[in-house]
Structure 1
Amino acid sequence: MKLFNRTITSQGSSFLKTFLLIGLILSPLKLIEGIAFAGSSDRAIEVASWLKVEAEVFEVWTSEEISPERVRFTKADGAQSAGERSDSSANKTVLFIFPKKSSAYNTALSTSLRVFADRDIFPEVEVVLMEKENNKRLEVIEAAEAEGVDLIFATGSSSAKFAFKNYWGGRIPVVTICAKDPVMLGQMPAYNVGSGSNMAFTSLNVPVGLQGRYLKELNPNLRNVAVLFANENKSAIKTQYEPLVAWGKENGVNVLGVGVSQKHAADELAEVVPSAVEKMRLTDPTLKESIFWITGSTSVFREIATVNAHSSTVPVLSVVPDVVKAGNDTAVMSIGVGFQSNAQLAAIYGVNVLTGKTRVGDLPVGLVEPPDIAISFLKAREIGMKVPFSFLERASTIYGNSGAIARSKGKNLVAEVD
């Protein structure tokens, strides 16, 4: 997945674009307030108490809440289609299985619906909030088989784990979406092969070696990394903490594990983050060679304000691009895979399966490369962190010194008249 358009331009034009972007980053808020950004609307519409969908989806889709735990999406009456491909997909049925209410899953669904429409694929899409009890989950799968569902998106790591353990070899093709690394979790033997079964996997993770190279490029003298995670989030520990510990041993970096409970994350973070700062200060008195690293544990990254309040001058980075956002309650940088990027790849896998272009068991593990990088220059200036120019060039999302957006989805700010 490319971060920017590599169309051929003159050297002068490329320099001018970079110069203008730097100007936007450095601009005070009053110079860019009131500007509208192309494609930057994040307005969501609630279609159920547990589900919100981005507004633009309803330009081509319509929704119906058919039960308290199930919502159906079908092609809107006024939606334009190219014809044959849309007609052939109209009799297909796709099921998204949500294990819980989650903004990440909302993003995954919205992105998938857009990908389907962009490729003129309009199956009947149902989203179910599935019970956590295995018997209830199996009932949902059995009903899907009886109803002739053509494809299941196992949404989230727990759904992917359930499908792997309980539906491997099943009749319905399954694609994982918004789920962590299947190789690190022992669900796949390697990245470059298919499952040979009814499942295709995608990954929210960046391989730890690549992630480590980015961290060392950001801070060549890196000495300490304090990793924040929820103790209950076993997939985050397995794929985002433990591999980093191994990498740290190989590269002379001390990796600290900082775990909190999901239920009391805010209170516990207020205690353990200052403690981690003091531990890092023992080997790095100025804290210039240390970072905090937030995993994909929702209960942790949603408390970014708490982490910032107690992190002193230590930069707070995350594997989740969405943790970098406008204003002060933000990580300074993220190096990871965004929910949208992962969902786009998973949805393309789904399209290829629905149209018969490929067999689900032949698809290798879907990895987003290069990773999504997001930067807040407001936060970087606040803590005195220098951002290498190479990161500015690669970043898909940038917030300037004012905290306002300067680049979104790999595209520099586009001003429109309000």
Structure 2
Amino acid sequence: MIRALLIFSLLCSSSILSAAQWPAWLGNELKPQKGSHWQIKTSTEGVEFMPVKSAPTILMVVSRKAKSYDTALKTLLAIYARELPQAHIVVRLLPVEAGSVNSERLTAMLKKAELNVDLIYSVGSKATVALRGVYSGGKIPVVSVNAKDPVLLGLIENDHGSGDNFAFTSLNLPAPITLRYMKRFKPSLKQIGVLYAKSNQSAYATQYLPLKKTAEQQGIKVAAVVVDQDDPSLTLEVSMNRAIKELKEDDPSLSSSILWLTGSSSLLARMQEINFYAKDLAVLSAVPDVVNSSPDSALMSFGVSFVNNAHQAGLYGLQILSGRTAPGDLPVGQISPPDIAISFAQAQRINQKIPFVLMEMASDVYGSHGAVIRSQGESMQEQQ
């Protein structure tokens, strides 16, 4: 009987894990709980998750530490535990040195994988771009997860498919659809402040630029709110205060303006600060996961949740492993209609009315005290 291994190893780090130490770039929520499909074993080399038998081997290359990537991995683990329980899954960190991907080390990792790996997941836009750059046309199928639109990233020409060994999913809504929902939220919309991290080029290329082009074609002003904590002139506080001052020049009450938070991972964890600097300005997001029951929630989101995107990537992977579909024949995986989430606590905080049509369409709704009213489209009685 072949024992399957799920090895979490710090391939790109010279340090060696001590016994029972968990990799710093993975969240603790990935540790198996009682009754889990996986059995855990720690060693100086890493962490092993062992099912009873072994089947296909799957390599998952993670861009870096991020809550969103933990969510994607957790979702994929659950899918394979249920649908292909003997799978051998290897999770590795993208080799990065001085902020840039080490292409030679990445290529060596992939060449080694060709000896025994049946499928690869690129987790995050950075990993997806890097793998596409060095492994297009390679022997092993690759599926992207938790990554931005591959067409807007310049990885493929259209959303019909790659025609090679890559299958893509997307976290992006097309800009016209995004703007349509913004106008449903605020019919008088005249201005949008778009918040993104300077280091997140995928958010800039696939969310800021397309929205700016589409909005300006309809006479709506778009103000860039660029954040770089290493630049004193671009800290979150400075950039937001400057942008809000600019928006108030044409809309003193901000009644026809919104703030749009892109999928910049470094900013998604800073909702408390974003709400503080936004004051009475409505904060909407492209990431449904940033709307929740906490006091640090965004007011509303419409986009693709990390969980639903990972589910789609999981289904793509299962199709490829079964031999039913070639990766290059799969269209870019897009969620439609989008996931909509609403926080009435945030709406109440800034005295913002929620259009009934969006309330009807929302899959996740949180009440004025943060309790769940609706989850994944299922209504619940709010607990006071």
> TM-score range, shorter-chain basis?
0.7 to 0.9
State the partner residue of 2:252: 285
State the partner residue of 2:362: 395
2:50 is matched by which residue type in structure 1? T
Q: Deviations over 1:322-377 (max 9, x none)?
A: 21122321110111111111000001000111111211111110001111111110
CA contact (8 A) 1:327 1:403 kept: yes
Matched, 1:202 2:169: yes
- Distance in 2, Cα, partners of 1:203 & 1:49: 27
3-state SS of 1:48 partner: coil
Q: What TM-score, normalized by structure 2, do the two folds share?
A: 0.87
2:103 is matched by which residue type in structure 1? N
State the partner residue of 2:93: 129
Q: After TM superposition, list the pairs within 5 Å mapping 1:172-321 onto structure 2.
A: 172-191=140-159, 193-263=160-230, 268-321=235-288
Q: CA deviation at 1:91?
A: 2.2
State the partner residue of 2:7: none
State the partner residue of 2:36: 59
- Distance in 2, Cα, partners of 1:207 & 1:374: 18
- Distance in 2, Cα, partners of 1:305 & 1:266: 21
Q: CA deviation at 1:49?
A: 2.9
- Distance in 1, Cα, partners of 2:233 & 2:50: 40
- Distance in 2, Cα, partners of 1:135 & 1:225: 41
Residues 338 and 388 (structure 1), Cα distance of their counterparts in 2 relative to 1, 3 Å cut = same
- Distance in 1, Cα, partners of 2:181 & 2:379: 22
State the partner residue of 2:110: 141
Residues 260 and 347 (structure 1), Cα distance of their counterparts in 2 relative to 1, 3 Å cut = same
Indicate the structure whose relative CO is greater, using CA pairs within 8 Å and at least 6 residues apart: 1
State the partner residue of 2:3: none
Question: Among residues 337, 346, 350, which one is paired with 1:383 in the alignment?
Answer: 350
1:139 is matched by which residue type in structure 2? A
Q: Deviations over 1:368-406 (max 9, x none)?
A: 111111111000011011111111121121110011222
Question: Among residues 90, 93, 106, which one is paired with 2:57 in the alignment?
Answer: 93
1:118 is matched by which residue type in structure 2? R
Residues 321 and 57 (structure 1), Cα distance of their counterparts in 2 relative to 1, 3 Å cut = farther
Residues 56 and 376 (structure 1), Cα distance of their counterparts in 2 relative to 1, 3 Å cut = farther
Q: What TM-score, normalized by structure 1, do the two folds share?
A: 0.80
State the partner residue of 2:17: none
- Distance in 2, Cα, partners of 1:264 & 1:355: 49
Q: CA deviation at 1:47?
A: 5.0
State the partner residue of 1:29: none
CA contact (8 A) 2:227 2:234 kept: no
Cα RMSD after superposing both structures: 2.3
3-state SS of 1:95 partner: strand
Question: Among residues 105, 115, 120, which one is paired with 2:69 in the alignment?
Answer: 105
Richer in helix (by share):
1
Residues 202 and 58 (structure 1), Cα distance of their counterparts in 2 relative to 1, 3 Å cut = farther
Q: CA deviation at 1:246?
A: 0.3
3-state SS of 2:235 partner: helix
Q: CA deviation at 1:118?
A: 3.1
1:62 is matched by which residue type in structure 2? Q
3-state SS of 1:204 partner: coil
Stretches of structure 1 lacking an aligned partner (at least 5 in a row): 1-45, 78-86
State the partner residue of 1:160: 128
3-state SS of 1:59 partner: coil
Residues 130 and 206 (structure 1), Cα distance of their counterparts in 2 relative to 1, 3 Å cut = same
State the partner residue of 1:73: 49
Q: Which stretch of structure 1 is more off in the superposition, 159-168 or 259-268?
A: 259-268
1:112 is matched by which residue type in structure 2? L
State the partner residue of 1:8: none
- Distance in 1, Cα, partners of 2:371 & 2:276: 21
CA contact (8 A) 1:99 1:130 kept: yes
In the comparison of the two structures, how many residue pairs are matched?
A: 357
3-state SS of 2:324 partner: coil
Identity over aligned pairs, percent: 38
- Distance in 1, Cα, partners of 2:64 & 2:148: 16
